[in-house]
Structure 1
Amino acid sequence: MGNAGVSLALSVGDPSGVGPEIALAAWQARDDAALPPFYLLADPALVTARARQLGISAPIIETTPELAAGLFSRALPVVPLDARFVDSPGRPDPANAAGTIEAIDRAVADCLAGKAAAVVTCPIAKKPLYDAGFRFPGHTEYLAHLSARHSGVEVMPVMLLAGPDLRTVPVTIHIALAEVPKALTTELIVATARITAADLANRFGIAKPRLAVAGLNPHAGEGGSMGLEDERIIRPAIDSLRAEGIDAFGPLPADTLFHARARTSYDVAICMYHDQALIPAKALAFDEAVNVTLGLPFIRTSPDHGTAFDIAGKGLARPDSLMAALRLARQLADIDKRAASA
Structure 2
Amino acid sequence: MNAVALPRLAVTAGEPAGVGPELLIRLAATPLAANFIAVADRGLLERAAARCGTAIELIDDDGAPLAARAAGTLRVRHIPLAAEEQPGRPDPRNAAHVLTTLAEAADGCMSGRYDAVVTAPLQKSSMNDGLGIRFSGHTEFFAERSRSDVVMMLASPELRVALATTHLPLAAVPAAITADGLTRTLRIVHAELRDKFGFAAPRIAVLGLNPHAGESGHLGREEIDTIVPVLEALRAEGLHLLGPLPADTAFVPAQRAGYDAVLAMYHDQALPVLKSEAFDRTVNLTLGLPFIRTSVDHGTALDLAGSGRADPSSLIAAARMALELSARRATRG
Q: Indicate whether the TM-score tops 0.5.
A: yes
1:239, 1:127 → 2: CA distance?
A: 41
Name which of 298, 316, 332 aligns with 2:325: 332
Per-residue CA deviation, residues 149-183 of structure 1 (Å, 9 max, x unaligned), is xxxxxx21100011011001110111111221121
2:175, 2:88 → 1: CA distance?
A: 37
The aligned residue for residue 320 of structure 1 is 313
Deviation of 1:315 after TM superposition, in Å, equals: 1.8
Shift of the 328–274 alpha-carbon distance from structure 1 to 2, 3 Å rule, reads same
The aligned residue for residue 142 of structure 2 is 143
Letter of the structure 2 residue corresponding to residue 36 of structure 1? A
Alignment of 1:142-181 (within 5 A): 142-148=141-147, 155-181=148-174
2:59, 2:35 → 1: CA distance?
A: 14
Letter of the structure 2 residue corresponding to residue 94 of structure 1? P
1:108, 1:317 → 2: CA distance?
A: 26
1:139, 1:234 → 2: CA distance?
A: 27
Alignment of 1:43-54 (within 5 A): 43-54=41-52
Shift of the 74–63 alpha-carbon distance from structure 1 to 2, 3 Å rule, reads same
The aligned residue for residue 129 of structure 1 is 127
Secondary structure of the corresponding residue to residue 324 of structure 2? helix
Name which of 91, 96, 99 aligns with 2:97: 99
Is residue 223 of structure 1 aligned with residue 216 of structure 2? Answer: yes
Name which of 216, 227, 233 aligns with 1:240: 233
Range 64-73 or range 248-257, more displaced: 64-73
The aligned residue for residue 19 of structure 1 is 20
Deviation of 1:212 after TM superposition, in Å, equals: 0.5
2:303, 2:67 → 1: CA distance?
A: 33
2:116, 2:97 → 1: CA distance?
A: 20
Deviation of 1:71 after TM superposition, in Å, equals: 4.6
1:145, 1:52 → 2: CA distance?
A: 36
Letter of the structure 2 residue corresponding to residue 272 of structure 1? M
2:75, 2:82 → 1: CA distance?
A: 17
Letter of the structure 2 residue corresponding to residue 147 of structure 1? S
1:213, 1:4 → 2: CA distance?
A: 40
Indicate if the aligned counterparts of 1:107 and 1:119 stay in contact, CA closer than 8 A.
yes
Aligned Cα root-mean-square deviation (Å): 1.8
Indicate if the aligned counterparts of 1:7 and 1:69 stay in contact, CA closer than 8 A.
no
Secondary structure of the corresponding residue to residue 8 of structure 1? strand
Per-residue CA deviation, residues 263-310 of structure 1 (Å, 9 max, x unaligned), is 111011111111112111111211110000001111100011111111
Runs of 4+ in 1 over 6 A off after TM superposition: none
Is residue 199 of structure 1 aligned with residue 186 of structure 2? Answer: no
2:194, 2:175 → 1: CA distance?
A: 31
Range 264-273 or range 70-79, more displaced: 70-79
- RCO comparison, higher one (Cα < 8 Å, 6+): 1
Per-residue CA deviation, residues 83-120 of structure 1 (Å, 9 max, x unaligned), is 45522111000121122111111111221122211011
2:9, 2:142 → 1: CA distance?
A: 16
Structure 2: gaps of 5 or more residues: none
Shift of the 72–79 alpha-carbon distance from structure 1 to 2, 3 Å rule, reads farther
Shift of the 113–66 alpha-carbon distance from structure 1 to 2, 3 Å rule, reads farther
Per-residue CA deviation, residues 179-210 of structure 1 (Å, 9 max, x unaligned), is 21121112211111110000111111111100
TM-score by length of 1: 0.91
2:47, 2:34 → 1: CA distance?
A: 25
The aligned residue for residue 111 of structure 1 is 109
Secondary structure of the corresponding residue to residue 206 of structure 2? strand
Identity %: 44
